[in-house]
Amino acid sequence: MLRLDLSNLDSRRIGSQGIDLEQALRAHKKRLEAARDALWGRKGDPAEFLGWIDVPEDTQTLRKVLRYREANAWVEDLVVLGIGGSALGAQAVNAALGKGPVRLHFVDNVEPEPILELLRSLEPRKTLVNVISKSGSTAETMAAFLAFRRWLEEALGQDWKRHVVVTTDPARGILRPYAQAEGLPAFEVPPAVGGRFSVTCPVGTLPLAFVGVDLEALLAGCRKANETAQAQVEANLPAQSALVHHLLSQKGKSVNVFMPYSTRLRYLPDWFVQLHDESLGKAIDREGKVVHTGTTAVRAIGTTDQHAQVQLFREGPHDKLITFVRLEKPTEDLKIPAVAGLEALDYLFGRSFFELLDAEAKATAHALAKAHQPNFAFVLERLDAYTLGWLMQHLMWQTAFLGELWNINAFDQPGVELGKEYTYALMGRRGYEKLAAELKAEGVE
């Protein structure tokens, strides 16, 4: 179960920085319905990159993933080579729900020392490498693949092939033909699913199958989010949270803090930051007009960041909308014991850690509201696969709705290309000689 707690956005509580949600829903009903109908209507067109809506229905692929996991019971360490959307979703779900027995490692950077440290810690005979790249051209992932493939081959000879599994586009890019030529097992990233929307396809499900996540439940939760995204505006949770973002951005809230009260959810903000920023930070709208949209998503974790960032959230610039994720029930709880001689702490004696966590979440949200800092919460009944799937698919829908409200394409990322080309030029890639010369003339070499 997932619900929205919007009480700290209410203008009756926080004044002009807030909104009257009921009135806003009435006023924007037509626009939200048009956005909803446009998204559902365009779903079948591969060029629209809305394939993530239907992926949770694809139980056949899930079965294939689970069969692969069963057939590879020898794996003790699974190394995911992927970056951005090809790593962040699985990383977030693994931290929240992963139970082992396999240890998951994510290589999503090209800093040599951590890669060497990981390689030195692994036993090649017990290691499976999952190279994940939709494009098959991402420099970081491919560099890591070259290194891990060599490492496996040096240790295992031709048997290295049993230790690599590929996840990539069914047709495009260099990884697919390479997997075919070498006889490597390979899973698909559906062409109409962008990286940051891909956690429910084998990009996420394959690594998560090795750490015992209940994938059936995760996908069922995603389907529940789809159901709510189809509903009338009054029951359409993604339309509502998107409207909140839209209206608050119009009130100058250009920073969007995403703050789960959960260490288990510590990587969820990283996943959300990519989803939100890469989707919505756009220079040009669908009509070709220069717009420079986007609100900047910022990571925070409660309670940890109460002692690092909340001072700024409360008393700093009034440019923020703060999104909390709160749990209603713990999975397990721990009593805080009474200790003689420390009676100054008796307000804690006999209470539980979850009670303290919950009190801190509510107290911080209320203190922010008192300072007229608008905030709202996704309230999860508990942290399980169903609810996390629901939340993640909800956030994908929220992003898609915002794309509609802002009239931008939320599914491309043209702004990352020039940096990639400069990298190719600096690395001496064939075909980039002219760009390298230009960079040199500009003092970059």
Ligand X SMILES: O=P(O)(O)OC[C@H]1O[C@](O)(CO)[C@@H](O)[C@@H]1O
Q: Which of 278, 282, 320, 404 is catalytic?
A: 278
Stretch that binds ligand X, among 58-66, 134-142, 329-337, 395-403 (CB under 6 A): 134-142
Q: Which of 30, 366, 420, 440 is catalytic?
A: 420
Site for ligand X in 172-231 (CB under 6 A): 195-196
Alpha-carbon gap, residue 308 to 313, rounded angstroms: 10
Tell me which of 8, 17, 133, 205 binds ligand X, using CB under 6 A.
133
Looking at the Cβ atoms of 173 and 212, the one nearer to ligand X is 173
CB of 145 to ligand X, least distance (A): 11
Hunting for tokens 């729900």 — which residue is that?
Answer: 97
CB of 394 to ligand X, least distance (A): 20
Q: Please classify residue 430 by burial: count the beta carbons closer than 10 Å to its beta carbon, then call 0-12 exposed, 13-18 middle and 19+ buried.
A: exposed
Stretch that binds ligand X, among 34-42, 95-103, 105-113, 133-141 (CB under 6 A): 133-141
Which tokens go with 354? 């979850």
DSSP reduced 3-state for 291:
coil
Looking at the Cβ atoms of 353 and 424, the one nearer to ligand X is 424
In angstroms and rounded to an integer, the radius of gyration of the C-alpha atoms of the chain is 23
Looking at the Cβ atoms of 8 and 168, the one nearer to ligand X is 168
Determine the residue with CB nearest ligand X.
Answer: 195
Q: Is 372 part of the annotated catalytic residue set? A: no
User: Distances from the Cα of 145 to the Cαs of 138, 181, 213, 331, 409, in angstroms?
Assistant: 11, 16, 26, 37, 31
Looking at the Cβ atoms of 141 and 309, the one nearer to ligand X is 141
Residues 146/209/94/198 CA torsion (nearest 10 deg): 70
Instruction: Identify residue 435 by its one-letter amino acid code.
Output: L
Tell me which of 51, 84, 190, 269 binds ligand X, using CB under 6 A.
84
CB of 272 to ligand X, least distance (A): 14
Query: What are residue 377's DSSP bridge partners?
Result: 5, 324
Stretch that binds ligand X, among 78-86, 288-296, 322-330, 382-390 (CB under 6 A): 78-86
DSSP reduced 3-state for 290:
strand
CB 259 within 8 A of CB 301: yes
Tell me which of 8, 17, 61, 86 binds ligand X, using CB under 6 A.
86
Alpha-carbon gap, residue 294 to 255, rounded angstroms: 9
Q: What is the largest CA-CA distance in the chain?
A: 75
User: Distances from the Cα of 70 to the Cαs of 61, 66, 129, 414, in angstroms?
Assistant: 14, 6, 16, 39
Site for ligand X in 225-284 (CB under 6 A): 278
Q: Is 307 part of the annotated catalytic residue set? A: yes
- The answer to the question of residue 130 lying near ligand X (CB under 6 A) is no
Site for ligand X in 138-167 (CB under 6 A): 138, 141
Residue 85: CB atoms within 10 Å: 24
CB of 416 to ligand X, least distance (A): 4
Residue 44: CB atoms within 10 Å: 12
Tell me which of 135, 296, 352, 409 binds ligand X, using CB under 6 A.
135
Q: Is 420 part of the annotated catalytic residue set? A: yes
Stretch that binds ligand X, among 33-41, 77-85, 110-118, 209-217 (CB under 6 A): 77-85
Looking at the Cβ atoms of 129 and 361, the one nearer to ligand X is 129
Looking at the Cβ atoms of 9 and 297, the one nearer to ligand X is 297
Site for ligand X in 394-413 (CB under 6 A): 413
Q: Which of 70, 123, 307, 434 is catalytic?
A: 307
Question: How many residues of this chain bind ligand X (CB under 6 A)?
Answer: 14
Stretch that binds ligand X, among 21-29, 132-140, 375-383, 400-408 (CB under 6 A): 132-140
Exposure string over 333-348, b if 16+ CB within 10 A, otherwise e: eeeeeeeeeeeeeeeb
Looking at the Cβ atoms of 61 and 198, the one nearer to ligand X is 198
Of 162, 155, 196, nearest to 403 by C-alpha is: 196
Stretch that binds ligand X, among 20-28, 79-87, 352-360, 375-383 (CB under 6 A): 79-87
Query: What are residue 297's DSSP bridge partners?
Result: 256
DSSP character for 352? B
CB 347 within 8 A of CB 330: no
DSSP reduced 3-state for 384:
coil
As annotated, the active-site residues are 278, 307, 420
Judged by the rule CB under 6 A, the positions of this chain that interact with ligand X are 83-86, 133-135, 138, 141, 195-196, 278, 413, 416
